[in-house]
A and B are shown apart, each in its own frame.
Chain A
Amino acid sequence: DAGVIQSPRHEVTEMGQEVTLRCKPISGHDYLFWYRQTMMRGLELLIYFNNNVPIDDSGMPEDRFSAKMPNASFSTLKIQPSEPRDSAVYFCASSPRAGVGTQYFGPGTRLLVL
Chain B
Amino acid sequence: GDSVTQMEGPVTLSEEAFLTINCTYTATGYPSLFWYVQYPGEGLQLLLKATKADDKGSNKGFEATYRKETTSFHLEKGSVQVSDSAVYFCALSDRGNAGKSTFGDGTTLTVKP
Contact = CB atoms under 8 A, between A and B. Distances in A.
Are chains A and B native binding partners rather than an unrelated pairing?
A: yes
Given A91-B44, A99-B99, A105-B36, 10 more contacts: A33-B100, A48-B99, A98-B99, A100-B51, A101-B93, A101-B99, A102-B46, A103-B101, A104-B46, A107-B43
Interface residues of A, number: 25
A56 interface: yes
A56 B100 contact: yes
A6 to B, nearest CB: 8
Contact of B89 (A43, A93, A98, A106): A43
A98 B98 contact: yes
A103 B32 CA distance: 12
Interface of A: 4, 30-31, 33, 42-43, 45, 48, 50, 55-56, 91, 93, 95, 98-108
Contacts of A55: 98-100
A91 B94 contact: no
A90 to B, nearest CB: 10
B49 interface: yes
The residue among A55, A100, A104 with the most chain B CB atoms within 10 A of its own CB is A100
The secondary structure that dominates the A interface is strand
Nearest to B52: A100
A105 B89 CA distance: 13
Contacts of B44: 43, 91, 93, 103, 105
B35 to A, nearest CB: 11
B99 A95 contact: yes
Nearest 10 Cβ contacts at the A-B interface = A105-B43, A99-B95, A98-B99, A100-B32, A105-B44, A31-B99, A102-B46, A42-B105, A107-B43, A100-B51
Nearest to A108: B43
Contacts of A106: 43
Contacts of A102: 34, 46, 49
Contact of A45 (B49, B100, B105): B100
